[in-house]
Chain A
Amino acid sequence: MATITPDKTLDASGLNCPLPVLKTKKALEELQSGQVLEIITTDPGAKADIPAFCNRTGHQLLEVVEEGNKIIFYVRKK
């Protein structure tokens, strides 16, 4: 279990490339700087794509948790 308490959760389960990234970007727009977004995805491609998105946009990837077929990301808005 993650120890981070998110300010918002985005459930992108069942969605595939590029939707998890696009929805993450949109969800982050609704947050204030410093707040944390939790992203739940089942897309194996997201495992590399969400970190790439963070690397490119400057948002901070705090933690990645894998639970069964779910990959859960915690991203702090820059």
Chain B
Amino acid sequence: MSEKLAIIVTKGTLDMAYPPLILASTAASLGVETAIFFTFYGLNIIHKQKMHQLKITPIGNPAMPITFPPSMQNSITDVISSVLPGLPQIMGIIPGMTDLMTYMMKKTIKEHGVADIPELLEACKEADVKLIPCQMTMELFGYKYEDLIDGLEPPAGAATFFNYVLDSEKPMIVFV
């Protein structure tokens, strides 16, 4: 029985880059033919420079806890965490806050032994996940094919994407 999974990635923040790459690489390892379609800000995840600058912001994300990496945890950070489960939204606008939160999240990710984004992209490629950039948004944002990482499929549009995924007995589409 042929199974195909296609994941549509529209977001270019650090937190939204993880789920599609984890799901895609794992599905491919389980023998499911898998593709990721990168459109709009999702293109940044496969952009040679921008993939290293993905950020996470507390603004508009009230569920985001103040994350202290294990190596930075002490009695002071414990008090902060217990008093402030999340950063008050207004504090998110302080210049540098997004960078600080991104730094802390990346450090936490590393200390927990979770892979970083370039590693997960490599894992996807090794598992034969097809990485498809959206032609239309590339033109919209002025991204050239050379600006994107190596090993991608040719840029494609919506019809090519559906033609790919529907050509199986069990097509699955996940929108991120």
Contacts and interface: CB of A to CB of B under 8 A. Distances in A.
Interface of A: 14-19, 21-22, 25-26, 43, 52-53, 56-57
B25 A15 contact: no
Nearest to A28: B29
B113 interface: yes
A21 B29 contact: yes
Given A25-B29, A25-B127, A26-B126, A18 B113 contact: no
Contacts, number: 38
Interface of B: 22, 25-26, 29-31, 112-115, 123, 126-127
A21 B126 contact: no
B29 A19 contact: no
A22 B123 contact: yes
**A-B pairs with lowest CB-CB distance, top 3:** A25-B29, A56-B30, A14-B113
B112 A22 contact: no
A14 B145 CA distance: 36
A78 to B, nearest CB: 11
B30 A19 contact: no
A43 B114 CA distance: 10
